[in-house]
Amino acid sequence: MTRTLYLNGAWLPESEAKVSVFDRGFLMADGIYEVTCVLDGKLVDYAGHAARLQRSAQELGMALPLTEAELLEVHREIVARNALDQGLIYLQLTRGVAERDFVYPPAGTPPTLVMFTQAKNVLENAAAEAGIRVALLPDLRWGRRDIKTVQLLYPCMAKMEAKARGADDAWLFEDGFVTEGSAATSHIVTAEGVLVTRDLSHALLPGITRASVLELAAAHGVRVEERAFTPDEACAAREAFITSATNFVVPVVAIDGATVGDGKPGALTRDLRRFYIETRRASAI
């Protein structure tokens, strides 16, 4: 069975969904995106993803063609049309179709909005049980990483370089400090049990799962520090992990070949993953 996609107000089989070669997302990477997880046919952390989509659009001077209520309805509709029980909804918004030019097209140019689903068993994640290894690589992305744009070439390059080095993924660093992973937020737990994650700025994406996990940690009495940390501090940490909408909470067991803690997923990391799944599954809409 082929998927049903949403494209500019129409519901289409994936074989019939087409976007113009003159779309600015294709020509100029002039677009933004969001990924929302689905559990039990319901949307996880939806309010945060919808708010971040609005913020990304505002930062780039784009207008969403749907109201908040309409956007939620389309998300629910695409879940129903694809009978999606577990998986992801990918949304991409571009500035639309126009003659190729570095100058934005005239006001009123219709944007392009596309959504599709990816079925995936997000609860059963082998990496969550075994942990992942990351390689440290320089952060060579543009300076506005707080906007969730479709400019993803360097994260792809970093992930491929990490795999070439025998790792599963990359953690990026800049000016002596870790920024984030190729597609996830980076966290460490110090020897004293303090959860440390980079404070928000233009240097990294304001992760929705990040925010939820920090909230859960604080609620369970874990001391949280939002600050930059060095690669050396990360390698010396008791635990390390990543957070993302796709993977929830996944332990990091080695950084650039250095074993993190005892080389096994840490207790706090495992607890936070369990807390996240339990609470977000219960509050999904």
Catalytic residues: 148
Alpha-carbon gap, residue 195 to 42, rounded angstroms: 29
Enumerate residues 6+ apart whose C-beta is below 8 A from 114: 5, 6, 7, 8, 17, 19, 91, 92
Rg (CA), the chain: 19
At 170, list the tokens.
Answer: 């990359």
Cβ neighbours, 10 Å, residue 76: 16
| Contact in structure between 172 and 145 (CB atoms under 8 Å) | no
Q: Could you give the 3-state DSSP secondary structure of residue 34?
A: strand
DSSP 142-192: -S-TTS-BS--HHHHHHHHHHHHTT-SEEEEEETTEEEEESSSEEEEE-TT
> What are the phi and psi torsion angles at 140 (to 5°)?
-110, 20
Q: Which two tokens stand for residue 42?
A: 């319901």
Task: Name the amino acid, one letter, at 278.
Answer: E
